[in-house]
Structure formats: C-alpha cells, structure tokens
Amino acid sequence: REAPYLFMDPAGQYFVMVPDLQMDGPAGITWGDKPTPGKAIPLDQFFIAHPDKDNAASINAALNLGKNILFTPGIYHLETSINISRPDTVVFGLGYPTLVPETGHPAMVVSDVDGIKLSGILFEAGKIDSPTLLQIGDSRASTSHATNPIFLYDIFCRAGGAAAGSTHTFVDINSNNVVGDNSWLWRADHGKGAHWTSNKNANGLIVNGNDVTFYGLFVEHCQEYQTIWNGNGGRVYFYQSEMPYDPPSQEAWSHDKTRGYASYKVNDAVTQHEAWGLGVYCVFTSAPVISDSAIETPLAPGVKMHHMVTLRFGGLANSGINHVINNDGAAVITQRIAKVN
C-alpha cells in the first residue's frame, strides 16, 4: 500500500487519499498511467492538530469521536500517550510534526486492530526516560492482520540532537502483519544532549510480532542491539545501520562474554526470517572497542540473509567489527602502525 497523501479536487476541496492495498501485485508506482486506486477521505473527517493549542488530551478526544488525525508542522509536547484504537484510523503528518513525551510514557500507543496507518511523523525522546516512543500492540497481541495490515510510513525517531532525551526503545512492534515503509531510528552522535550518559537508548527496533515486513530500515547509534527480531516470518528489504560512536570502554560495551553488540539480532528461537541488503558500519571515537559480529542469527534453514557488508569508516586504532555474521566474514579492524624513522 502506498503512503497516504493530501490532494485538492477540481472544486478546491481537500482530501486525504488512502491508496488501496495490493497483494502480490506489480512493483513500482500505481499512478504512472492512471490515478492511484484508493479511498479519498474528506478533510472534515480529520481533526487538524496544531502544536500551539493541542495536546494529547484534545487529540485523544477527537480520536474517541471517530476522527482521523492530521498533524500540522511543529513540536507537540505530550502529557500522556496518544492512543490509536479504531480500526483503519489514518494519522497523517505534514512537515514531519514532532511528538515529544514529557512524563516518561510512550508518545503513541497503537492498539492491535486492523488497518491503522501512520505517516510522516517524528518521535523525539523527552527528558524523562520512556520505555518506548511508539508502541504497536501490547504483549497480548495475537490477531492476524494479513488481509488489512498496520502500516508505518516515514516514521522517524531520535534521542538527542535537538535536546537531551532518553528512551529504552524507539519502536516496539508486538502486533502481527505490520509493514514499515522507510524508518530512520537515530540516537544522536552530535548536537545537543549527545553523550553516552545523557541520551540513553538501548535499542532502536524490537519486533515481537509475526510476519512483520520493513522496506528501508535505518537504525543508528543505539547503545545495545540496534534491531532485535523475536517474531517469526520477518522480512527486511534494505537495512542500514551505524554502531554507536561513543562506547566509553570495551567493558562498558560488552555482554555475556561477547565484545560489543551486533547491530541486527535475530532471536535464537526464530525459525523463519529473511533479509536482503544489509550494511553495518562503525566509527568508534571514544575508546578502541570491537564488536564481535555485525549480525547475529540462529543457524536455521528458514533464516536467510542476503548481501551483507560491514565497513569501518574511521575512528580509533584497534577498533572495528570482527565478523560480518555470527563467526563468519572478514574483520574490519585497523591496527595501529608504528612509524619508522
């Protein structure tokens, strides 16, 4: 399903077009030689949110009345979570509106229901540590959404960079059949609040649901695993990840007798998972640290990883990544070279 978009009809009326779901259809755009098939939702079915006058309470009240949400640009400081619970709700952002949780809660919680669509939103960690910024379903989620998936379009997250902020995880996906289309989940390596102890963030994405798919997943600088995949049937088409620049020591960035953390971790219990085009990079600037592997997966016939690459862009000598996947693949570690006069 292509992302929703705003348009004006010949009479000057605004609508949000929600393109139709396609199953095993042709690749590429749908609007090359004819209009995109889909449903045009009149703008009066949307609550138009403004950062200078709206908060979680007013947005949740509109959602409870059956409205979709259109966020205008700006920064929304949220006193509690925005709760999306009605099937097929559209939450649409113009100009990447920024949602900031201020009291240690998730910025947005999506119920385990069919067809919810989130598009064009930036979630930013607040000063009080949140368990996650975006939660899709909860630990009880078990419904199949195969015929009407939950979609996440252009969903970005950050901790630090604009201001100090912390969250354990950027995005938690507990529901089945979620589709992500372009997500960048970023712990800041520069800017305000960018320091090992000030913008704390363990993981970028944790997937517990089954049959979750991502097209274009970018996860960077988290302090432990960047991505953890616990559900079966996951698929990723293009993964880009840079490890944190700033582990203060190897001791601080190790676990279970393993140096560092892999970027992409598939749980040992997973039997079906497939990914294409994975790049994991490193630039360690605070201490000479090593990650033993960029990617960790179980050795199961149904777990297939295609076209993987690691690269050391720079950083301190005697730092880098020792293996591409598990214990395989050459190291990218630059040794210190003594000068000879």
pLDDT in tens, 238-292: 999 999 999 999 999 999 999 999 999 999 999 999 999 999 999 999 999 999 9
Structure confidence at residue 341 (pLDDT): 43
Q: Of the residues 242, 251, 274, 296, which is catalytic?
A: 242
Residue 197 confidence class, pLDDT cut points 50, 70, 90: very high
CB 172 within 8 A of CB 132: yes
Q: Give the pLDDT confidence of 325-335 residue by residue, as tens digits.
A: 999 999 999 86
pLDDT tops 70 at residue 337: no
CB 51 within 8 A of CB 70: no
Q: Give the pLDDT confidence of 221-239 residue by residue, as tens digits.
A: 999 999 999 999 999 999 9
Structure confidence at residue 335 (pLDDT): 65
> CA–CA separation, 71 vs 48, rounded Å?
6
CB 42 within 8 A of CB 11: no
Q: Give the pLDDT confidence of 46-84 residue by residue, as tens digits.
A: 999 999 999 999 999 999 999 999 999 999 999 999 999
Q: How high is the mean pLDDT of the chain?
A: 96
Structure confidence at residue 27 (pLDDT): 77
For residue 221, give the nearest of 241, 255, 244 by alpha carbon: 244
Residue 176 CB coordination number (10 Å): 23
The first and second tokens of residue 171, run together, are 């995005």
SS3 state at 45: helix
Residue 323 confidence class, pLDDT cut points 50, 70, 90: very high
Annotated catalytic, 242? yes
Structure confidence at residue 292 (pLDDT): 98
pLDDT tops 70 at residue 339: no
DSSP-assigned letters across all residues of 266-321 = E-TT---EEEEEEEEEEEE-SS--EES-SEE----TTEEEEEEEEEEEEESTTEEE
Q: Give the pLDDT confidence of 78-113 residue by residue, as tens digits.
A: 999 999 999 999 999 999 999 999 999 999 999 999
DSSP-assigned letters across all residues of 103-138 = SSS-SEEE-S-TT-EEEEEEEE--SS-EEEEEEES-
Structure confidence at residue 28 (pLDDT): 80
Q: What DSSP designation does 327 have? A: T
Torsion angle of alpha carbons 73, 78, 83, 84, nearest 10°?
10
